[in-house]
Structure 1
Amino acid sequence: MTNDSLFLNARQVADYLDLNEKKVYAMANERQLPGTKVTGKWLFPKALIDRWIIDSCHGGTLSDRLIIGGSDDPLLHHVVRRVSQRIGRSGLINYSPSDTRSGLTHLSNGYTDVCCIHWSESHERDVRHPALLKHHNVHKQWVLVHGANRDFGLLMRNEHHHLGQDLQEAVSLRYRWVPRQLGSGSRHQMDNFLTSQGLTASDLNLQPEALSEHELAATIARGEADFGIGCQGIAGEFGLAFLPLGTESFDLVMPQGVFFRQHLQALFTSLQSPDTNIHANMLGGYDLSDCGKIIWSAS
């Protein structure tokens, strides 16, 4: 191997890292090493191998970027923007939500550093969230960190608030519902709510899916739909009426080393600040007790 090699094969990576070649293949197949298969053979960009070594030093605390995916949350958007402003040009923190299940797949494949999830009411979190993580082969490398408890429920415009007392009328075909995509925590909560009413999504007058909490709330606020299920914080951000249905745990999943990264610790510090607490109270429905606490690890 020469110093100017752009790509390394598995044997060269094994020599470079002083590993057994079989270990390199195993790490590549588990997405622990940055590489790609070309005509059936693994190739590893040397620059990314070097970056992987740096990111591994000191638990990743020297890394200058943090990519967050998974579930959508308005308070987290608020905090990420402020941490990003403080970081300035010295690093990058980015929040690109999709949904809980897609976010875990992205994390498993190494495309993101952190995945936000919400898949159960708070009292079931310690069982349901770890069970969700265990669908992924790399879950033993992950830790689950608490973000917040947040209220979820029915979102509607203020003129429909009276229908919160008449759910049978609210689910009638005269009213338009905007669902989230399958794999999102809000869609999971909507399906659970409908089951409690003896209904399924096919019984509703469904509009096109919203791909985020923000898109769902905006659809209702524009008058393109009448009802949807999401968190109280997004209702507060868009000035919508809200009928609480329960409290869910909004948590963050990450590889163990990522927990110690400077940008992530700055994020948790900001989430627990008085300014963030004021904003959380303005949005409504948040409890930030135990924010930043590790609540599960495979070990």
Structure 2
Amino acid sequence: MKSRDELSVEDISEILKISKSKVYSLIKSGELPSYKVGRKIRFSEDDIKSYIKGLKQASTPVTHKAIGGTANKGFVLCGQDIILDILSNYMRQHNTPALRAYIGSYDSLIALYRNQVSVASAHLWDSDTDTYNVPYVRRLLPGIPAVIVHLTCRIQGFYVAKGNPKNITKWDDFGRDDITMVNREQGSGSRVLLDENLRLLGIFGRDISGYEKEIQSHLTVASVVASGKADVAIGSEKIAKQVEGIDFVPIKKERYDLVFKREDMGTPEIASLLSIIRSDTFRDEFSHIGGYDTKDMGKIVIEF
């Protein structure tokens, strides 16, 4: 592919082997960078290459060993949501290089504890307090002064087949014999939300058909449900809007936060990150995408 900065929707459809409607959907969600010349949407080749590289990284499980290999190379931002990819792009534009590590919330906090990443992201629900993240940060970063900064709120729920033919509406339904699920990987916020609710109900994962099948992305589990290979999966509302053939049953409003060590509060990298997420430009970009509540973006939740 020749280096071009004025690729059309048709070009991108051919390059990525997806429909034009899917290209427009990716633009609307903010996943695919674009710009306008008059009324025409255009793309740069560098942005498309970065998008493809991000997909490859997201589809590759990242182990603690792999993270440890990148930790000394710079500022590492850890988490799986597309909002973090866009945040890292903003940081690079502000001359603050930010590497990305794509692992779930629980392992993200452990990696921060082990000095393998600079910033962790988390959306971990604690059933004892009905709160997000704070109890986990205290438990998984013992003795480490830390700062939790709010990024966004999202709606978590069930991906079900169009029309919800099996009427899956509550956690109790996972105990039914006629339900097959597809699961997220251990340590992800969605998996913790599921397991905590199953524990409260006295339902064992081993008794649920498909519980052992783990997949590392919201988009893929939604696609499995759309294909009819599973009846239900846990994920965010935003992704449900991108996958045809499924409905979304809202269950829980979750907090998605960033966590870093308090000793890093004055570093140029953290200063740049906070400046970006507190800016009207960054907030406005996500207020139009849908699926993100940006009202308290950038506010400090707590300092330990």
TM-score interval, smaller chain: 0.5 to 0.7
Structure with the larger helix share? 1
Partner SS, residue 217 of structure 1: helix
Deviation at 1:271, TM superposition (A): 7.4
Give the one of 70, 73, 77 matched to 1:68: 77
Distance 1:75 1:116 in 2: 11
Partner SS, residue 147 of structure 2: strand
* Structure 1: 5+ residue stretches without partners: 1-34, 36-47, 52-64
Give deviations 1:73-132, integer Å, cap 9, x for gaps: 24444x336526x628x4433333311211111111222111111112799576x52321
TM-score, normalised with respect to structure 1: 0.64
CA contact (8 A) 2:219 2:239 kept: yes
Residue in 1 that maps onto 2:295:
289
Distance 2:102 2:281 in 1: 18
Distance 1:125 1:251 in 2: 16
Residue in 1 that maps onto 2:276:
266
Aligned length in residues: 229
Pick 1 or 2: higher relative contact order, CA cutoff 8 A, min separation 6. 1
CA contact (8 A) 1:80 1:95 kept: no
CA contact (8 A) 1:121 1:249 kept: no
Give deviations 1:203-232, integer Å, cap 9, x for gaps: 211152012333323333444323111221
Residue in 1 that maps onto 2:254:
248
Give the one of 88, 107, 116 matched to 1:111: 116
Distance 2:137 2:120 in 1: 11
Deviation at 1:133, TM superposition (A): 1.4
Distance 1:105 1:262 in 2: 24
CA contact (8 A) 2:146 2:259 kept: yes
Residue in 2 that maps onto 1:129:
133
Distance 2:194 2:109 in 1: 20
Partner amino acid for 1:244? P
Residue in 1 that maps onto 2:286:
276
* Structure 2: 5+ residue stretches without partners: 1-67
CA contact (8 A) 1:161 1:242 kept: no
CA contact (8 A) 2:77 2:118 kept: yes
Distance 2:142 2:214 in 1: 30
State the identity as a percent: 22
Distance 2:201 2:128 in 1: 21
Distance 1:233 1:76 in 2: 15
Residue in 1 that maps onto 2:148:
144
Query: Is 1:202 paired with 2:206?
Result: yes
Partner SS, residue 233 of structure 1: helix
Greater Cα offset, 286-295 or 210-219: 210-219
TM-score, normalised with respect to structure 2: 0.63
| CA radius of gyration, larger in | 1
